[in-house]
């Protein structure tokens, strides 16, 4: 089983700042089959990034994904008020299709 | 509009069974793999099970293997999760999700149905 560890657990930033979220895998994620999701309170998650770096339909370009192998990053270039939420990474290269524990991006 | 609507959740005693359903609309259901993901109160997301478009590939998390069964009826545009021998740790919000391929990001999510396992 591939274990995903997200860091930090909480990120306190101000609107306009840059957010850098990490997702580290316990073993290589083949084909960079890694996705990022955004989840707001009381809502279902929303797909942001798949295949490590491809933005999903309708996702603003301030969201970008990078990385390969075992180290992946989600970057939000300039935080907008709507971006404060919990972010989850998920690998889908092998079963079980594990998720990380999540990173909360909160307003400082 | 692409939509997934879950139903069938509720309060159930440990050891009992429950069947979740997910009604799909707005897309060609039998073109896509489908999945169940759950979220325990205050916790992160946990993948539960996946099924390919033709039911030829099925996977389960170890925590539910042997107790849960995923299935689909393409004629009814519906996904199911039969949950037997429920445990308190199965208490969660259960999401139905869709991917463009079996191995892909989950691009559509339902709003979830809540399962509470308690005596």
pLDDT tens column, A43-69: 999 999 999 999 999 999 999 999 999
Ranges of residues in chain A with a pLDDT under 50 are: none
d(CA B24, CA B14): 29
Cβ neighbors of B41 (< 8 A, separation 6 or more) are: B91, B92, B93
Q: In what order do the strands lie in the sheet with A86-91?
A: A10-13, A103-107, A86-91, A34-39, A46-50, A54-55
Neighbours of B9 (CB within 10 A): 18
Which pLDDT score, from 0 to 100, does residue B102 have?
85
What are B15-42's pLDDT values in tens digits? 999 999 999 999 999 999 999 999 999 9
Query: Which of A59, A92, A94 is the best residue to mutate to test the B interface, defined by the most B CB atoms within 10 Å of its own CB?
Result: A92
| Token pair belonging to A14 | 């101000």
Among B47, B109, B110, select the one facing A97 at the smallest CB separation: B47
What confidence score (pLDDT) does residue A54 get?
Answer: 97
User: Between chains, do B106 and A101 touch, taking CB under 8 Å as contact?
Assistant: no
* CB atoms A92 and B59 under 8 Å: no
Taking CB atoms and an 8 Å cutoff, what residues of chain A touch B35?
97
Model confidence pLDDT, tens digit, residues B88-106: 999 999 999 999 888 899 9
Q: What is the pLDDT of residue B101?
A: 86
What chain B residue is nearest to A9 in terms of C-alpha separation?
B44
Rounded to the nearest integer, the mean pLDDT of chain B is 97
Contacts of B99 in chain A (CB under 8 A): 92
CB contact (8 A) between residue B44 and residue A88: yes
Distance, first Cα to last Cα, chain B: 39
pLDDT higher at B100 or B53: B53
Is-contact A36 B106, C-beta < 8 A?
A: no
pLDDT of residue B8: 98
Please name which of A24, A43, A42 lies closest in space to residue A34, comparing C-alpha atoms.
Answer: A24
Find the mean pLDDT for residues B68-87: 98
- Quick check: A95 and B110 CB within 8 A? no
């Amino acid at each position: 089983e591939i274990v995903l560890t997200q860091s930090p657990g909480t990120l306190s930033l101000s609107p306009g700042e840059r957010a850098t979220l990490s997702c580290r895998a316990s073993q290589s994620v083949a084909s960079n089959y890694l996705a990022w999701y955004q989840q707001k309170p009381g809502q279902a998650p929303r797909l942001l990034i798949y295949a490590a770096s491809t933005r999903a339909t309708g996702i603003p370009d301030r969201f970008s994904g990078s990385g390969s192998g075992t180290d992946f990053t989600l970057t939000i270039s300039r935080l907008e008020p709507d971006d404060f939420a919990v972010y989850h990474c998920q690998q889908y290269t092998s079963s079980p299709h594990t998720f990380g524990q999540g990173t909360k991006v909160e307003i400082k | 509009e692409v939509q997934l609507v879950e139903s069938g959740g509720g309060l159930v005693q440990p050891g009992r069974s429950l069947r979740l359903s997910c009604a799909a609309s707005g897309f060609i259901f039998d073109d896509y793999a489908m999945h169940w993901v759950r979220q325990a109160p205050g916790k992160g997301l946990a993948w539960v099970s996946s099924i390919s478009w033709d039911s030829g590939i099925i996977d389960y998390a170890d925590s539910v293997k042997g107790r849960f069964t995923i299935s689909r009826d393409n004629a009814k545009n519906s996904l199911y999760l039969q949950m037997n021998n429920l445990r308190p740790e199965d208490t969660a919000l259960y999401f139905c999700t869709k991917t463009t391929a079996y191995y892909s990001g989950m691009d559509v999510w339902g709003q979830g149905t809540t399962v509470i396992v308690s005596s």
